[in-house]
A = this chain, B = another copy of it.
Amino acid sequence: MSRDKSDIKPTEAELTLLNILWKMGPATVRQIHETVSQTQKTGYTTVLKILQIMHEKALVIRDESNRAHVYAPANSEMVTQSSLLKDLILKAFGGSTSKLVMRALDTSTSKEEIEDIRQLLNELEQQS
C-alpha cells in the first residue's frame, strides 16, 4: 500500500510556500522569495531548494519552458487542508472529527463564526 500523492504531508516550510502559491497563483522563485521575505529572513536559494524538493515530492508542478521556472501547487488548498485535518484527527483526536470540531469551537470562536458554522450545519442536514 503506497501513499497517495495527494496525501503527502507538507512540512512547515513547504506549507509556507504553498500558502503563498495559493494566494498568488503560479509564480517564479523570485516572486515567491520576495513575498516570503516580507515576513521572514530566508535566502533565495533556500526557497529555491525547498521548491525543488517539493517538486520531487510532487507537492508542486512547474513550467520549465522559460528560464525562470514557474511553480504552482499540485493540489488545491482545500485538498491539502483536508489532508492535514485528517492527519490531526487521527493522531490527536482518536479519529473523531466531532471531537476536533468541538475542541475548536470551545477554544476560540466569535459569535459571527458560530453563525457561519450553524449555517453550514443546516446545509449539511438538508443533504442527509
Task: Give the number of times this chain occurs in the complex, counting copies.
Answer: 2
A interface size (C-beta, 8 A): 41
Residues of A within 8 A of B (CB): 12, 15-16, 19, 78, 80-82, 84-86, 88-89, 91-94, 96-98, 100-109, 111, 113-114, 116-118, 120-121, 124-125, 128
**CB–CB A103/B81 < 8 A:** yes
For the A-B complex with A86-B108, A106-B120, A117-B121 known, give 17 more contacts whose Cβ atoms are closer than 8 Å.
Answer: A12-B91, A15-B92, A19-B91, A81-B92, A81-B103, A84-B92, A85-B104, A89-B104, A98-B116, A98-B117, A100-B104, A101-B109, A102-B116, A105-B117, A105-B124, A114-B121, A114-B125
